[in-house]
Each structure stands twice: as structure tokens, then as C-alpha cells.
Copies of this chain bind each other. A is one copy, B any other.
Amino acid sequence: MAIRKGKTIFFEKDIHIIANSAVVGKTEADGPLGHCFDKVFTDSTLGEDNWEMAESSLLKAAVNIVLEKSAKNESDIDLLLSGDLLGQSVASIFAHSERNIPFCGLYGACSTMALSMLSGSLAIESGGAETVIAATSSHFCSAEKQFRFPVEYGGQRTPTAQRTVTGAGAVVLQKSKNSLSPKITKGHFGTITDYGVIDSTNMGAAMAPAAAKTITDFMSDTKTAPADYDLILTGDLGQVGTSLLYELLLRESGLDISKVHNDCGLMIYNRQKQDVHAGGSGCGCSASVLCGHIIDEIRQGKYKNLLFIATGALMSPISSREGSTIPGIANLVNIEM
């Protein structure tokens, strides 16, 4: 049975990441991690009639690959936890609508990879599931169409804007005693944090305060410091959000994470050569970097104790147009080897 200290959950069962998969589009494949992914779709439509279905196909492919890599059938999976950025999570719905697997729909914006791994770990810890899939996706064209302008319009993007990653990631989590796979040892559901940011082209600023809060609360609950971790990996703060996170943590909590921190939004593209402004974003950003690259590095022994903190900007096209603020959230899983 898990134990709770403050807002942090300490898992007692051996919850292992027994398989991971990531698929991406062409721009992501052209980036520095291009060689890591299981599959690259150079045609960003994936042969579908619209961007929403293209994203569904991307997510479906990630789940197919993770099933194959884990040597599991659908009937071996007790619960599939998934969500995405699109209204009413349609990318997830149509990606999974033909599978005969119990489904738990989640909404955490770009924090969904951590949210689904955390919720899946709770399901395993409860005994209600033994094996689960946690998965998420985003697509540059479906996200731009949803939140900003259709790509076909060719709008100018601001320097603070991030490029939504065309990508999907999935993991199979399983309770197993003698696994040599990375293990999820702790989790932390974020608290919604609202610093009043209203600029929907500056997601980093909207999400940084939530990341700062989750990191501060987690360090306090676990009585640990940044130096206790090999890597503190945030989801998609990008250049602007990362600077703000460092500043907030130093000023408000006296924590300096800069020596052990990296951000998936800074890792996935070559910001000097690719036209991506402040970096990558979207559920698929942290999902593809974690599931395509980092988990394999953990397996290879590069990291022994890692914090994965995916951040989400909680906004809709309607709330933005109505002048509402953009609250943020940051969900955390502690992965150890």
C-alpha cells in the first residue's frame, strides 16, 4: 500500500516501465534526438483526411509499438490511460476506439504523460490493475488549428512561442518483482497554479510557476534536494519557461536546479537551426523525449534517480478569447533504476 507524505505518494509495489515507444513527425526527426524514435512519419497527414485523425493515427501507432515491444496483447492490458490537447480529447478517443481495453480519459494538457503514468501507477498500487498503458500525443497542425491559426494561414509566430511537437509516446507499466526495468517509486499530482498570464503565445511563462510549486512541494515532502537527483526533467517549458523556473525556485525556495535540470522542449529541436522559437511543447514533446530517449538512457544506467515533471497550460481557445488567465499544472513521477 502506498504511503502519503504531504502531497507526495510513495509507491510500495514494484511498478516498472516494462516497455516504451515514441513516434514523431519529420521536424522532430530532423532534431538532435532524431535517431531515437521508433518510427518517423514524414507525411504529417499520416494519410488521414484531417489533422485530428492524423494525430489519432500517431497515437495509435505508439500504442501498437509499445504492445509489440512488451510482447503483450490487448487482453493483457487492464487499463489504458490517455488524453491529449484537443477539445474533448478526440485524438485519444479515435486512437483507442477500436481497442477492447478499459479506458480512463485524462485531461492535463501538456502534463498528460506524467498524469497518465501517475494515475496508472495508482491503479496498479490499488490492485485494480496489474498492467496498464499510459499514452499521449500532440500534433503541430491540429494544435495550431485548435489554439492559434490554421497552419495554412501562415501567421507570424512570436519569439516566446513554442512549436507543438508532432509526436506520441506510450509506456507499459506493470507490477513485477524481479524486473530490471526502470521503476516508478513516487508520484505527485500538481496543484493548479495561476499567476495571471494571459498570453497564449507564451506557454512557458504560464507553466513555470506550476513547475516551481510541484518541485518545491515534492522536495519538502521527500526531504531531498536537487543534488539528490541525476536529472530533473521538465516537460516543455522551453527557453522562456526554463529561465523563469530557475528564477522562481531560487527566489522563492532557495533551490538551484540548474546543474541537474533539462527540459524536453529544449532537447527535441535544434533551436539554432530549426525555426522553433522558444522550443518544443505539447503533450507529445515530453512524451516522445521521455519514451523515445530518456527511458532507454535510464535502462543503460545513465540515470539512477530521475524526476519527470510534465507541465500543462490549462487553457482553451474559448477561454483565451474571453480574456481568461492561463493557469498551469505540473505532475511528477520519480523514476529510479
Contact = CB atoms under 8 A, between A and B. Distances in A.
**A83, A92, A318: which has the most chain B beta carbons within 10 Å?**
A318
Determine how many copies of this chain the complex contains: 2
B107 A4 contact: no
Contacts of A125: 126-128
B52 A319 contact: yes
Nearest to A101: B191
Nearest to A316: B88
B189 A103 contact: yes
A272 to B, nearest CB: 32
Given A4-B78, A11-B128, A128-B187, 16 more contacts: A1-B1, A1-B127, A3-B127, A4-B129, A9-B127, A9-B128, A12-B127, A50-B322, A79-B189, A88-B109, A88-B314, A89-B314, A98-B194, A105-B329, A106-B106, A122-B123
Interface of A: 1-4, 7, 9, 11-12, 49-50, 52-53, 78-79, 83, 85-90, 92-94, 96-109, 115, 119, 122-123, 125-130, 146, 187-192, 194, 314-319, 322, 324, 327, 329
Pairs of residues from A and B, 9 with the lowest C-beta to C-beta distance, nearest first? A87-B87, A102-B189, A1-B127, A88-B316, A125-B126, A105-B107, A2-B127, A126-B126, A9-B128
